[in-house]
Amino acid sequence: MFCRKTYLNVISTMDAEGINGCTKKAALIFSKSLRISSGRSLSMEEVIEQADYLYGSGETEKLYRLLVQHKNSEDAELLWRLARASRDLAQLSITSAEEKRQLAYDSLEYAKRALEKNEANSAAHKWYAICLSDVGDYEGIKVKIGNAFVIKEHFERAFELNPKDATSVHLMGVWCYSFAELPWYQRKIAAMLFATPPTSTYEEALRYFHMAEEADPNFYSKNLLFLGKTYLKLNNKKMALLWLSKAKDYPAHTEEDKQVGS
């Protein structure tokens, strides 16, 4: 039915710091790790700072181990990061199918608690929507379609709270694209299950992809790719070629970037 990839492909963006900034941060993290070994507990602010460093370094397992120690925290900033880390761990090839399922539900619970602690937290809304989509893959088509309304609402709320967050807008575009290209038999199932099933158009998807690009130009290879794919769906080959060429030439920083450019 709805592929998990529909909502996933979320990129993290770090502020450019330069070599000196990275060196200083590495030293800071190292000094804090020494404090841990000496028995001094980190403050929540320090845990979050260390978590962001590990996330930016791609240390998924270390990041999860750090944050899961604080799973009973009341801090929304820590909880949404734990939701993200749990979900990232589930995406690793070394994670078993059983563990992936458990992590999907754990991620959703952490994101839900983050929202309960701070409804005005943009990242909590975004990760709640992403994790809710993941869980839908285990719940069946009726739940998946039903959740789609809630998912879009949370992406929209995330963008309202943080207009600079291009990834939330991109994901709204992917949401629209997915329902615009829904096969006829899935549309029929949706119509049978819901009086007003979720629908969208390629024009709406295109608007969101352009909004994301305006919010943060060239921020994500997948946004460039979807702009090209959407223009193809709208039979605008000239614009499709323009954006697909940009996607192909995008500097490959991640494995996903390499897949987009191949």
Task: For 70-127, write each residue's pLDDT tens digit.
Answer: 999 999 999 999 999 999 999 888 999 999 999 999 999 999 999 999 999 999 999 9
Are the C-beta atoms of residues 156 and 132 closer than 8 Å to each other?
Answer: no
| Residue 111 belongs to some domain of the structure | yes
Please say if the pLDDT value at position 58 is more than 90.
no
| Residue 130 belongs to some domain of the structure | yes
| Residue 228 belongs to some domain of the structure | no
Q: How many other CB atoms are found less than 10 A from the CB of residue 49?
A: 16
Are the C-beta atoms of residues 5 and 137 closer than 8 Å to each other?
Answer: no
Please say if the pLDDT value at position 1 is more than 50.
no
> d(Cα 120, Cα 123) in Å, to the nearest integer?
9
Q: Residue 94: helix, strand or coil by DSSP? A: coil
pLDDT of residue 32: 52
What is the average pLDDT score of the chain? 84
Please say if the pLDDT value at position 68 is more than 60.
yes
pLDDT of residue 40: 59
pLDDT of residue 190: 79
pLDDT of residue 255: 62
What amino acid occupies position 166?
Answer: A
Task: Give the domain range for residue 108.
Answer: 44-219
Are the C-beta atoms of residues 114 and 131 closer than 8 Å to each other?
Answer: no
pLDDT of residue 185: 79
Please say if the pLDDT value at position 3 is more than 70.
no
44, containing H or E segment: helix 44-56
pLDDT of residue 37: 41
pLDDT of residue 256: 67
pLDDT of residue 182: 84
CB-facing half-sphere around the CA of 206: CA atoms within 13 A: 15
> CA nearest 150: which of 189, 110, 115?
115
| Residue 187 belongs to some domain of the structure | yes
pLDDT of residue 251: 85
pLDDT of residue 99: 96
Task: For 149-178, write each residue's pLDDT tens digit.
Answer: 899 999 999 999 998 899 999 999 999 999
Q: Please give the radius of gyration of the chain, using alpha carbons only, rounded to the nearest integer.
A: 19
Q: Taking the alpha carbons of 142, 84, 76, 172 in that order, is the dihedral positive or negative?
A: negative
Are the C-beta atoms of residues 145 and 194 closer than 8 Å to each other?
Answer: yes
| Residue 173 belongs to some domain of the structure | yes
> d(Cα 114, Cα 111) in Å, to the nearest integer?
5
| Residue 75 belongs to some domain of the structure | yes
155, containing H or E segment: helix 141-161
Extended beta strands in the chain, E state: none
CATH of the domain at 124: 1.25.40.10
Domain count, the chain: 1
> d(Cα 66, Cα 145) in Å, to the nearest integer?
34
| Residue 22 belongs to some domain of the structure | no
| Residue 191 belongs to some domain of the structure | yes
Task: For 185-228, write each residue's pLDDT tens digit.
Answer: 778 887 887 777 788 999 999 999 999 999 999 999 999 999 99
Task: For 220-248, write each residue's pLDDT tens digit.
Answer: 999 999 999 999 999 999 999 999 999 99
Determine what percent of the chain falls in helix, strand and coil, rounding each to the nearest 5. 75, 0, 25
Q: Residue 152: helix, strand or coil by DSSP? A: helix
Task: For 24-44, write each residue's pLDDT tens digit.
Answer: 444 455 445 444 444 457 889
